[in-house]
Amino acid sequence: MDARTIIESLSSEFPEAISESEVESEIRVRAYVAAEKAKETCQYLKDSLQFDHLCSVCGVDYPKRGEIEVVYHIASYEHPVVLMLKAKLPRDSPEIESVVPVYWNANWYERETYELYGLMFKNHPDLRPLVLPEEMLGEWPLRKDYEGFPNKTARNLV
């Protein structure tokens, strides 16, 4: 299964949801997916296109566009193609369906993306902070407009 057939199969299965799909090379493809169809797309990728390995889930903040993108990197144990699947979400209320029922290892990825960007993953089994303390919830430190960085170093140095 090569990159072009994967994109064609994906676009024909979800003609409204998949957009801006592109074959970057023989082993890298990328596509945007509508946020409400992300879970169904992942289910189709896993069941029909042998994309059985979720590499990462992360977020990208675009304050000028007022959008936050959630990025899934999905690969396979059967063929060498890596798919970068993106979904655009509104910045004031980013919400997307969790893919934990499809890929179980998305659990901790989504928890970390939630604590760093404030991306709400609906129907996540256990959405609480992973590595940040509980009291930092709501600061969303990896958003571009975060201003909670300390501007001083220890007194001993100066």
Partner 1 sequence: MGEVKAKKTSDIKNTPDDEIPGVITTTTSAIHNFLKKSKAQDVINWGRKNSLWFMTQPMGCCGVEMIATGCAHYDTDRFGIIPRNSPRHADVMIISGYVTKKYLPALKRLWEQMPAPKWVLCMGDCSISGGPFYESYSTVQNIDEMFPIDVFIPGCPPRPEALIQGFVELQEKIKAKKDLGTEY
Q: Which residues bind partner 1 (CB under 8 A)?
A: 131-133, 135-136, 139, 141, 146, 148-157
Beta carbon of residue 156, minimum distance to partner 1 (angstroms, whole number):
6
Beta carbon of residue 146, minimum distance to partner 1 (angstroms, whole number):
7
- 101 vs 129, which CB is nearer to partner 1? 129
Q: Which amino acid is at 32?
A: Y
For the chain, give the longest Cα–Cα distance.
64
Q: Which of 56, 62, 10 is nearest to 37 (CA)?
A: 10
- 66 vs 133, which CB is nearer to partner 1? 133
State how far the Cα of 75 lies from the Cα of 77, in Å rounded to an integer.
7
* Cα distances (angstroms) measured from residue 3 to each of 50, 72, 118: 12, 17, 33
Beta carbon of residue 125, minimum distance to partner 1 (angstroms, whole number):
22
DSSP 62-85: ETTTTEEEEEEEEE-SSSS-EEEE
- 27 vs 137, which CB is nearer to partner 1? 137
- 16 vs 131, which CB is nearer to partner 1? 131
- 15 vs 148, which CB is nearer to partner 1? 148
Beta carbon of residue 63, minimum distance to partner 1 (angstroms, whole number):
17
Beta carbon of residue 52, minimum distance to partner 1 (angstroms, whole number):
34
State how far the Cα of 32 lies from the Cα of 145, in Å rounded to an integer.
25
SS3 content of the chain, % helix, strand, coil (to 5): 25, 30, 45
